[in-house]
Structures are given as C-alpha cells and as structure tokens.
C-alpha cells in the first residue's frame, strides 16, 4: 500500500466513528505552539558569563551547544525544518542581543536589544512569547528577587519586569501576534523559614507594580508560574501553587501558568486544566517531562502528555490555552531533543483531535461506563500513524525517523565544529 492509500483507509476508519481527519489536519496546522529558545544552549543566554541559577539546572555536557545568537538561530531553523505545525518563538530576557561593546543590565533592557529576534521571527511568520529572567544574575540576594526584603533588590527586579512588559508589547506590535509574558522566579528558602507570608506579600506587591506598567491587554498576556520547590530551595517557594493561582484569579488579565513539572508527583496537570477552564477565560502551560522531580526531560508522546492534549482539545479550548514547551536536556544532541519534544506534542494534539470526544462524553453522561472503557481502549489502536504521516507530508517534513539523518549530518558538519 502507498502512504496515500493507507491514509485513505485510515480516514475511512476514523470517519466511521465521526472523526473528519482532513478537517483535523487543516485545523492543527493553524494552532501555534511556543518553542523555547533555551533548549539550544542549556538556559544560558547572551547577557552574562555566570552559571545557571534560580533552583534550575541542566545536566550533561553533550558537545555542540549554541554559543552565539547566530548559532542558536541556525539550530532553531533546523528544528523548524524537521517538525510539522505552527510555531511561536519563546524567548527569555537573558537572550538580548547587544552590539559589540554594548551592554544593558536587566532593568535597562529595551526593545532594540531584541530587534534581531523580531526580524528572525517575522521572516518565519512567527509570533514571540517572552519571559523576564529572574535568575542567573548577581543581583539575586540570598536567593530572592521580587520577594527580597531588600527594597533596592526588589526595585531592580520590578524595573526588569516593567522593561519586559514594554518589550513584550513591542513583540506583539511587530509580529501582529499577542505576546504571552510569563513571570517565574525561583525565590525561596533552602531551609525552614521563620516567615512564610512576608516574602509572599512582597512578591504580590512586586508583581502588582510590574503590571502597573501601562500596556494593551489584548497585546500582552501576563502570566504567573507556580512551583513547588527548586534545587537548593527545598523548604519554601514564594510562588507556590496557591499563591500564583490566587494572584491570577484576583488580578484581571493575569493568567495562571501551569508547568507540569511543578507539582507533587501524583498530581496531574491534565486534571487541573479543565478545573481552571471553569474559571479563567485563558490560561497558559509549560509542557515538560518530570522524572521523579522537576527534571525537565524532553517531552515524549507518553500517557500524561496525551492526557493534557486531550483536555485542551475535548473542552474546545485550543484558543484559550497558550501552549509552550519547557525542558532542557544537555546530555543528548540538543537539536534532536528540541525536535523530539516538539514532534511529541504535535502527535499528542493530533491524537486528541482524532478522538471521538463527543461520542465518548455522551457515553459518560449516559452512565454507559462499560462501553466507554471499550471504546477508549479500541481507539488506542486506530491507525493514528497514517494520519500523522499525512499531516507530516502536508507540512513537508518526514513522518518517520528519517529526519534523524539530517541531525546526524548537522552534527557532523556544524555542531562538531563548536569547541
Ligand atoms: C523553572 C520554570 C521556568 C524555566 C524557564 C527557563 O522551573 O519551569 O519556566 O524553566 O523560564
Ligand atoms: Zn516552566
């Protein structure tokens, strides 16, 4: 059978359960997923020489990481060429690009320091998402930024946040696509604190001061990301789940951002998505793969990844949930890691869209749990691979592992020269 024949046959099988695979493919091509620049260089960026701090860590020393904006952009382009689907570029403030001899500290960053990224995104028809960088910087005092007891430290980071709002608005205006701006800090304590509320009150006030910067709420979508703990920040995190969720709920236009590595191991974000959709017009996600802790392994096409995609799709929330990948593996070829993660999330979305969701909901509402189980199990072995192959064909990328030969060639010709 040719792949066209295989797709025709798959299309028929899905049609029999009420799924129009042509319509699914056409729709998925238009859904943006934000691709994080930081997988390419182990979350370092271009504005400092120091190590990665803030309770996050990359492990591994696979050769070939990007050292300059040009290298990072070239690697990003390689990922684009090997993955189906619409992309948005996700940047951190630490990826500012300065002219030779120029430098601006985080509180003084301006749109011009990101002009090269804007040109890059525009040429590729991508919107841009943004993140102030509250880590890897000397002005972090005792592990604290926005919640520091030191007013000068707080002021510096508030000004950083405000600068980032202006930059986010510039991105949105330039690209014509709203910019999701995510606030995450690693603020917290290694050991039992004497005051848990004080840092949180300061954190709350600081985020309010950042959001007091005037901006168009249709262009900039500020988010707050929660976390349970970090490395060296095991006892207390200022931006806990309750803190950030309550902040978003009480501040008009501020979205909650859930990172699926940031909860206790038996909690699942797939169950939190529909809960938040009952209350928030929009929300944001960091899609990652935690193994035993917030390890940020490459996203795979695994059960929880699929379950998260299902919740977005079957609640008709593809236009209410901003999806961004967030992981960083330095132990394998980084361009391949990037590619695998993006392809996995695309597979999860496509699979969710190829599920007869309305039919399954009906079975649940009718209390027909026997047939519901049967159907959910049978759908698993429907010829999803043939629909994936057709989607990839239409997007001009390989459906199978043959894309990896490109990575091997790129490693030989480009990455291995980076010493
Ligand atoms: C850290 C958070 C945060 C970062 C990025 C680099 O635990 O997940 O989102 O990974 O901002
Ligand atoms: Zn995250």
User: Would 167 be classed as within a structural domain?
Assistant: yes
Number of domains in the chain: 1
pTM of the model: 0.98
132 CA to middle of ligand 1, Å?
11
326 CA to middle of ligand 2, Å?
5
The pick from 40, 41, 42, 56 for probing ligand 1's pocket by mutation, whose C-beta has the most ligand atoms within 8 angstroms, reads: 56
Ligand 1: residue whose CA is nearest its atom 4? 326
User: Would 362 be classed as within a structural domain?
Assistant: no
Ligand sitting nearest the alpha carbon of 90: 1
Q: Judge contact between 235 and 192, C-beta under 8 A.
A: yes
Residue 239 DSSP SS3: coil
User: Would 396 be classed as within a structural domain?
Assistant: no
DSSP state of 99: P
Q: Report pLDDT digits (tens) over 53-91.
A: 999 999 999 999 999 999 999 999 999 999 999 999 999
259 CA to middle of ligand 1, Å?
8
Question: What is the model's pLDDT at position 44?
Answer: 96
Q: Any catalytic annotation for residue 326?
A: yes
The response to whether residue 42 sits with its C-beta less than 6 Å from ligand 1 reads no
Q: What angle do CA 68, 84, 328 make, to 5 degrees?
A: 40
The response to whether residue 131 sits with its C-beta less than 6 Å from ligand 1 reads yes
What is the CATH classification number for the domain harbouring 67?
3.20.20.150
The response to whether residue 187 sits with its C-beta less than 6 Å from ligand 1 reads no
Question: What is the model's pLDDT at position 50?
Answer: 86
Q: Any catalytic annotation for residue 267?
A: no
53 CA to middle of ligand 1, Å?
11
The response to whether residue 184 sits with its C-beta less than 6 Å from ligand 1 reads yes
Ligand 1: residue whose CA is nearest its atom 2? 184
The response to whether residue 36 sits with its C-beta less than 6 Å from ligand 1 reads no
Ligand sitting nearest the alpha carbon of 230: 1
User: Would 174 be classed as within a structural domain?
Assistant: yes
Q: Any catalytic annotation for residue 262?
A: yes
Question: What is the model's pLDDT at position 76?
Answer: 98
User: Would 388 be classed as within a structural domain?
Assistant: no
User: Would 369 be classed as within a structural domain?
Assistant: no
Q: Any catalytic annotation for residue 294?
A: yes
What is the domain extent for residue 68?
Answer: 32-353
**Which residues touch 240 (CB under 8 Å, ≥6 apart)?**
200, 226, 227, 228
Question: What is the model's pLDDT at position 364?
Answer: 98
User: Would 367 be classed as within a structural domain?
Assistant: no
Q: Judge contact between 33 and 323, C-beta under 8 A.
A: yes
Q: Report pLDDT digits (tens) over 307-333.
A: 999 999 999 999 999 999 999 999 999
**Which residues touch 365 (CB under 8 Å, ≥6 apart)?**
none
Q: Any catalytic annotation for residue 296?
A: yes
Q: For residue 260, give the nearest of 309, 191, 220 by alpha carbon.
A: 309
Pairing of strands 283-287, 321-325: parallel
Pairing of strands 188-189, 236-237: antiparallel
The response to whether residue 185 sits with its C-beta less than 6 Å from ligand 1 reads no
Active-site residue (options: 286, 329, 347, 403): 286
Task: Map 158-196 to HEC letters.
Answer: HHHHHHHHHHHHHHHHHHCCCEEEEECCCCEECCCCCCC
Report the chain's mean pLDDT, rounded to a whole number: 97
The response to whether residue 360 sits with its C-beta less than 6 Å from ligand 1 reads no
Q: Any catalytic annotation for residue 297?
A: no
Ligand 1: residue whose CA is nearest its atom 10? 326
Weakly modelled stretches of the chain, pLDDT under 50:
none
Question: What is the model's pLDDT at position 362?
Answer: 98
Question: What is the model's pLDDT at position 49?
Answer: 87
Q: Judge contact between 7 and 392, C-beta under 8 A.
A: no
Q: Any catalytic annotation for residue 77?
A: no
User: Would 384 be classed as within a structural domain?
Assistant: no
């Amino acid at each position: 059978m040719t792949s066209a024949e295989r797709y025709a046959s798959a299309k028929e099988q899905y049609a029999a359960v009420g799924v129009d695979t042509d319509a699914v493919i056409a729709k998925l091509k238009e859904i943006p997923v934000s691709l994080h620049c930081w997988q390419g260089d182990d979350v370092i960026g271009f504005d400092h020489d120091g190590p990665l701090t803030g309770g996050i860590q990359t492990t591994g020393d696979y050769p070939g990481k990007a050292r300059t904006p040009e290298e990072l952009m070239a690697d990003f382009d390689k990922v684009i060429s090997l993955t189906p689907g619409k992309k948005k570029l996700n940047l951190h403030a630490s990826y500012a690009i300065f002219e030779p001899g120029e430098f601006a500290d985080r509180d003084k960053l301006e749109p011009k320091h990101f002009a090269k990224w804007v040109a890059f995104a525009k040429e590729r028809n991508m919107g841009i998402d943004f993140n102030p960088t509250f880590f890897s910087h000397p002005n972090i005092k005792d592990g604290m930024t926005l919640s520091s007891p030191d007013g000068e430290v707080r002021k510096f980071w508030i000004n950083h946040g405000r600068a980032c709002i202006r930059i986010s608005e510039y991105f949105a205006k330039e690209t014509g696509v709203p910019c999701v701006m995510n606030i995450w800090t690693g603020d917290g304590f290694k050991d039992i604190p004497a005051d848990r509320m004080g840092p949180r009150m300061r954190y709350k006030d600081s985020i309010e001061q950042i959001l007091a910067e005037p901006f168009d709420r249709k262009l900039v979508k500020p988010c707050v990301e929660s976390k349970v703990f970090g490395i060296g920040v095991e006892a207390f995190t200022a931006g806990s789940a309750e803190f950030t969720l309550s902040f978003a709920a009480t501040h008009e236009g501020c979205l909650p951002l859930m990172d699926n590595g940031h909860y206790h191991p038996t909690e699942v974000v797939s169950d939190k998505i529909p809960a938040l959709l009952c209350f928030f017009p929009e929300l944001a996600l960091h899609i990652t793969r935690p193994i035993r802790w917030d390890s940020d392994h490459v996203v795979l096409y695994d059960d929880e990844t699929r379950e998260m995609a299902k919740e977005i799709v079957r609640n008709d929330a593809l236009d209410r949930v901003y999806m961004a990948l967030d992981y960083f593996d330095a132990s394998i070829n980084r361009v391949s890691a990037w590619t695998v993660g993006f392809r996995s999330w695309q597979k999860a979305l496509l699979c969710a869209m190829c599920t007869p969701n309305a039919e399954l909901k009906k079975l649940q509402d009718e209390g027909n749990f026997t047939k519901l189980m049967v159907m959910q199990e049978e759908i698993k072995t429907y010829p999803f691979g043939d629909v994936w192959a057709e989607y990839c064909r239409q997007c001009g990328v390989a459906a199978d592992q043959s894309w990896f030969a490109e990575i091997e060639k790129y490693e030989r010709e480009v990455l291995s020269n980076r010493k």
